Structure 1
């Protein structure tokens, strides 16, 4: 079956399998560090309560059988270890069923986490990682040539990711159509990084060029992923370059990293060796065994059938963004930043030991790891790691409707809960929890170069209102 084997994509397979596995390592380590405090037995949105309301059929997860923080940690550490083995290429040295089983285990394990993760796992890159992990399972091992149907489906996944994001923007806010979106985005994005301040202050003609380049990369280039070589490779390189710019200027978890990895599916071995001439030439792989061909074709048919609704969604008037059309997060719809906020609001959480809440000097701020807080603190780089609490604080400032997690978060701070405090960068009450907690809203903007030279501050802020009036455990108990 010569048509089935994509012998010119051996390097691409190595990049795809190892790159997606590396993203799984990050995802599972993130769960180890954050899941118990956010969603554990005593978390902000405890999983036991969720699975008591939602059936396995609605949201498949191993945790419907039983949940404990210890079980979560065993699953997450096991997933991270297995993913690390795939990054090292160990299962790929065996028969084709070995990486198949390994990736399907990663898919099932991470699906179990995401499907009980509620709002903390509601981001598009969670579904993207799950879908990519399932697809990688059918790329086989080093003993067989990469199946061409899976290589093409990886391009289809990349197409949906890029073209879907482009269509969301064109249909979204006017700022994407009048080319002004990036006048604001670098300042108002969920979590700016150290470069964001500098890029924000570039000339407006540069920001208009950024928008034009984005539209070209997301609305035109993806169609050329399916063109003959070397056109497909050139299209993939353009996508990689645009994603690298996003890596340099923001913090979007592993979204950009996995997009770059998926772009490898359109780059053939000749193109790789043109850029990296020291790469060794691969020998011809033996023909795929019949059982593997049958399994891959069956998976391809399944994925094609599931592609119908996402394909329709791309051209629908009411396009869905970051939507899953099935509970297994296969063949999803993607997109981001259909509108760009033009002002940045931040929620600042403060505690006080003072008996009188009107004593302004007694209020001290909790500092988060990634989101803006103290005006003099330089924005940090965290991606491809994902700070889930910090991201939800951004949505909270935008007026998120579901604030149950935040109410519990304030209670945990009043209790001095150690797992919750470990999610933060600075706890201003290291010896004992405060008597009272409040949350104020500030309008933030980047300082100008002149202001930063004078004050050494990255942000200028002004108070915009009170989100939560001072509250204590005693007062809550009386209420």
Structure 2
């Protein structure tokens, strides 16, 4: 069936299958390293409490049947092994049902994690990864051609992702309309990277160019992804270049990397071979089983039916971003930075061994990714997702919802809980239990060139208030303080 197979799509399928699987591998590594401390049996927001109040139909997950940290680790290890098998290309060598089952298993296992992950998994790129994994199940294997409908479903996903992000910016914040958003964004983004300081210090006309380029890529290029070749391939290239710029300028977990992978759904082999003559992918010549054709048609019909609400959302003046319209996280609405923060406020957590401490007796806990001591340069962590650090950023924005886990987090520090301390970069008490902990609010800004040369600091900070008064075990919880 010539209409069913997309000619010139071997590179697209190769990158989509292996790229999506690689992101799943990163996600499952994060589950192994962070989930038990954040959401496990003794976590900050324990899964058993969540499943006791949220029904299965609202959050489908195998952990509704039973949760234990041991089972969670088994799920993550199985997911990691399956993802790495796809990365090296093992399932793709078999019949099309084999990679289909592997990707559906990855989707189901990670869905079970996300649906009980609460605020620590409440990010748009979780749904993006789930939707991408579901679609990847219908790419076929090396024995068959690549289904055209599956590639179109991927392009529709990239279209919603990019156009949704562009429209929410124009509708959400005048800084995107007057081209001043990047005067602030590099400094106030959730997780700056090692080059973010330099991006922030670019001359202001270049910040205007950045914003204009962003608008072109997110408001015009998505339509070109749906155009005939070679236009679609060049549009995919524009998406890739823009996303690499974002990779260099910040840490957005796997959002940018996964978007790069998804953009390859619009890449044509012949156009790519014209740029890289040595690249001549082999064409799949095997017949397409009738059952696989039927499965792809069912998938396409499902995507079409579920697309009504996200399509209406794109056209709505009250557009929402990062919304899942069903508990399976399929065909949702995406977007990012509908508003830009003008100033950066960080929560600094401190501890002391002293019963009656003076100011000099308090020592600072250092997180892995979020800004801390002024002399510490931001690190690169993406595509790995530091969930505790992102939660601290939202807390710094004044999100009261984050207090549900932050107060238990302080109690774990008072207990010197080893699992919790492993989420941090530096424990100032070296595993010893503190007598008191507290949390203060500081306003941060990037240093100037002169301050960097003179004082060797990347940040300048000043205290603006206290969010949690000194707190100790066995005493009433610390007060939630105001901000100066």
Aligned alpha-carbon RMSD (Å): 1.1
The residue aligned with 1:436 is: 436
**Matches for 1:11-50 after TM superposition, within 5 Å:** 11-50=11-50
Structure 1 residues 342-374: Cα deviation after superposition (integer angstroms, max 9, x where no partner): 1000000000111214x0111000000000000
What does residue 68 of structure 1 align with? 68
Secondary structure at the aligned position of 1:327 is classed as: coil
Q: Distance in 2 between matches of 1:395 and 1:37?
A: 19
1:99-248 alignment to 2 at 5 Å? Answer: 99-248=99-248
Deviations 1:373-398 (A, max 9, x none): 00000100000000000001000000
Distance in 2 separating the partners of 1:151 and 1:20: 14
Give deviations 1:419-474, integer Å, cap 9, x for gaps.
00000000011142110010000000000000110000000000010111101113
Distance in 1 separating the partners of 2:42 and 2:275: 51
Q: Which residue of 1 aligns with 2:482?
A: none
Question: Do 2:145 and 2:286's aligned partners in 1 also have CA atoms closer than 8 Å?
Answer: yes
Residue 475 of structure 1 and its aligned partner are, at CA, apart by 1.7
SS in 1 for 2:363: strand
Say which SS state the counterpart of residue 442 (structure 2) adopts. strand
Q: Which residue of 2 aligns with 1:293?
A: 293
Cα distance in 2 for partners of 1:407, 1:197 equals 32
CA contact (8 A) 2:143 2:284 kept: no
Partner of 1:381: 380
d(CA) in 2 for partners of 1:440, 1:39: 25
**1: distance between equivalents of 2:167 and 2:331?**
17
Shift of 1:10: 1.1
Q: Which residue matches 1:397?
A: 396
Contact 1:232 1:267 in 2 (8 A): yes
1:27 to partner: Cα distance: 0.4
2:18 is paired with a residue whose SS is helix
Once the two structures are TM-superposed, the CA of residue 234 in structure 1 deviates from its matched residue by 0.7
Asked if structure 1 preserves the Cα contact closer than 8 Å seen for 2:471 and 2:477, the reply is no
How far apart, CA to CA, are the structure 1 residues paired with 2:301 and 2:177?
38
What is the rounded CA distance, in whole Å, between the counterparts of 2:386 and 2:284 in structure 1? 44
8 Å CA contact 2:441, 2:467 repeated in 1: yes
Q: What residue ranges of structure 1 are gaps of 5+ in the alignment?
A: none
Is the 1:145–1:288 contact (alpha carbons within 8 Å) kept by the matching residues of 2? yes
Change in Cα spacing, 1:218 to 1:354, as seen in structure 2 (3 Å) is same
Runs of 5+ unmatched residues, structure 2: 480-484
TM-score by length of structure 2 reads: 0.98
1:420 to 1:299, Cα distance in 2 relative to 1, 3 A? same
Number of the residue aligned with 1:372:
371
Match of 1:82 in 2: 82
> Distance in 2 between the 1:17 and 1:85 partners?
11
Cα drift, residue 283 of structure 1: 3.3
Q: How far 1:284 moved relative to its partner?
A: 4.3
Shift of 1:272: 2.0
Contact 1:7–1:285 (CA under 8 A) maintained in structure 2: no
How far is the alpha carbon of 1:8 from its aligned partner? 1.0
Q: Which residue of 1 aligns with 2:361?
A: 362
TM-score, normalised to structure 1, is 0.99
Mapped to 2, the partners of 1:421 and 1:32 lie a distance apart of: 15
For 1:348, what is the secondary structure of its paired residue?
strand
Query: What displacement does 1:310 show?
Result: 0.6
